[in-house]
């Protein structure tokens, strides 16, 4: 097994996260910067913007999201997701994944393909950063709680942290030390997932 494959297998969703790490915020931020630089984008347009929040800013973020989502999520969904959001406050930090509309318009233009690429760019970054955090011995989860550009908490979070209005938030990744093993996961049959022609 290669080191890369081990890393891919090690990465799991971790909701129970804490602050038990020897790593400094700078070490974590440096690794995120390094990996973000290498994430591929269509025509090397580099439309993705990441914001890393630590400590009190992380708590401020999740308190705000909890406040907005309590009027949006209902019943079982609120029960489950409010636990995840509360858990996020106990972690080390959160990576916010944005796509910059000014850069998208200037590089890819305003069209359907750009809308698709935007999602692919962010997904590439999300997975790359998740693996980087795993490689640092940290765990986290991937949240997509916002509902679109300038809707829900997209606008207010940008105002809260002084970010450009051209940023669209695509996802949130709270991370920290791993405080519980991951839930069991079901796998579909690999032969159904990957079809090899001419093996």
Ligand X SMILES: Cc1cc2nc3c(=O)[nH]c(=O)nc-3n(C[C@H](O)[C@H](O)[C@H](O)COP(=O)(O)O)c2cc1C
Q: List contacts with ligand X (CB under 6 A).
A: 12-13, 84, 141-144, 182, 185
**Integer Cα distance of 129 and 90 in angstroms:** 20
The nearest distance, CB 24 to ligand X, in angstroms, is: 26
Q: How far is the CB of 153 from ligand X (least distance, A)?
A: 14
Query: Rounded CA gap, 167 and 48, in Å?
Result: 9
Nearer to ligand X, 106 or 180 (CB): 180
Query: Are the beta carbons of 20 and 137 closer than 8 angstroms?
Result: no
Cβ–Cβ under 8 Å, residues 163 and 130: no
Q: For the purposes of burial, counting CB atoms within 10 Å of the CB of 159, is it exposed (0-12), middle (13-18) or buried (19 or more)?
A: exposed
Task: Pick the closer one to ligand X by CB: 73 or 182.
Answer: 182
Query: Closer CB to ligand X, residue 105 or residue 142?
Result: 142
Residue closer to ligand X (CB basis): 106 or 116:
116
Q: Work out how close the CB of 198 gets to ligand X at its nearest, in angstroms, rounded to a whole number.
A: 30
CA 36, CA 39: separation in Å to the nearest integer?
5
* Distance of closest approach, residue 180 Cβ to ligand X, in angstroms: 12
């Amino acid at each position: 097994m290669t080191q890369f494959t081990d890393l891919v297998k090690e990465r799991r969703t971790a909701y129970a996260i804490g602050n038990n790490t020897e790593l400094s915020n700078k070490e974590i931020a440096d690794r995120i910067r390094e990996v973000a630089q290498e994430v591929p984008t269509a025509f090397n347009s580099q439309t993705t913007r990441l914001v890393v929040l630590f400590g009190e800013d992380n708590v401020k973020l999740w308190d705000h999201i909890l406040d907005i989502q309590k009027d949006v999520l209902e019943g079982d969904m609120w029960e489950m997701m409010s636990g995840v959001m509360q858990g996020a406050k106990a972690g080390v930090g959160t990576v916010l994944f944005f796509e910059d509309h000014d850069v998208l318009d200037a590089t890819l233009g305003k069209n359907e393909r750009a809308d698709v690429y935007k999602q692919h760019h962010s997904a590439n970054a999300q997975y790359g950063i998740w693996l980087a955090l795993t490689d640092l011995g940290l765990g986290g989860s991937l949240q997509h709680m916002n509902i679109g550009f300038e809707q829900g908490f997209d606008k207010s979070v940008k105002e809260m942290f002084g970010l450009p209005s051209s940023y669209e938030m695509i996802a949130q990744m709270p991370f920290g030390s791993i405080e519980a093993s991951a839930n069991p996961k079901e796998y579909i049959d690999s032969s159904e997932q990957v079809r090899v022609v001419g093996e």
